[in-house]
C-alpha cells in the first residue's frame, strides 16, 4: 500500500482506468465475435463489421489496443466478408 498521498491518488486513478479499459476491451471482443458470427451466418454482416470497426478505431485512438492490432483485426474481418461474398 502506498504511503504518500500522491501515490495513493495514482493508485486510485490506475484502478479506475483499469476498469474502463477492461470494459472497452470486453465490448471490443464482443463486437468482433458478433461480426464473425454474422459473417458465418451471412446475415447483416456489413453492418456488424462497421460497428466492430468503429469500436476498434476508438480503442486504438484511446491507446487501449495498438494501432496495428486494430488494423489487423479490421483487415481480417473485411477479408472474411470478401471471401463469403465471392461465394
- pLDDT of 80 above 90: yes
DSSP code, position 42? T
> What pLDDT was estimated at residue 30?
98
pLDDT digits (tens, 9 = 90+) for 23-77: 999 999 999 999 999 999 988 999 999 999 999 999 999 999 999 999 999 999 9
Kindly state the average pLDDT of the residues 71-86: 94
20: domain CATH number?
Answer: 1.20.58.110
State phi, psi for 20 to the nearest 5 degrees.
Answer: -65, -45
Neighbouring CB atoms inside 10 A of 75's CB total 10
- Which residue range forms the structural domain that includes residue 79? 5-86
Strands of the chain (E only): list them. none
Q: How many domains does the chain have?
A: 1
The set of cell numbers assigned to 63 is 491507446
Amino acid at each position: 500500500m502506498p504511503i504518500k498521498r500522491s501515490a495513493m491518488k495514482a493508485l486510485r486513478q490506475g484502478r479506475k482506468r483499469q476498469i474502463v479499459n477492461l470494459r472497452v476491451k470486453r465490448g471490443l471482443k464482443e463486437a468482433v465475435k458478433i461480426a464473425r458470427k454474422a459473417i458465418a451466418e451471412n446475415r447483416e454482416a456489413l453492418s456488424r463489421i462497421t460497428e466492430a470497426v468503429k469500436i476498434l478505431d476508438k480503442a486504438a485512438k484511446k491507446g487501449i489496443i495498438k494501432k496495428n492490432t486494430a488494423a489487423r483485426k479490421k483487415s481480417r474481418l473485411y477479408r472474411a466478408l470478401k471471401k463469403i461474398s465471392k461465394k
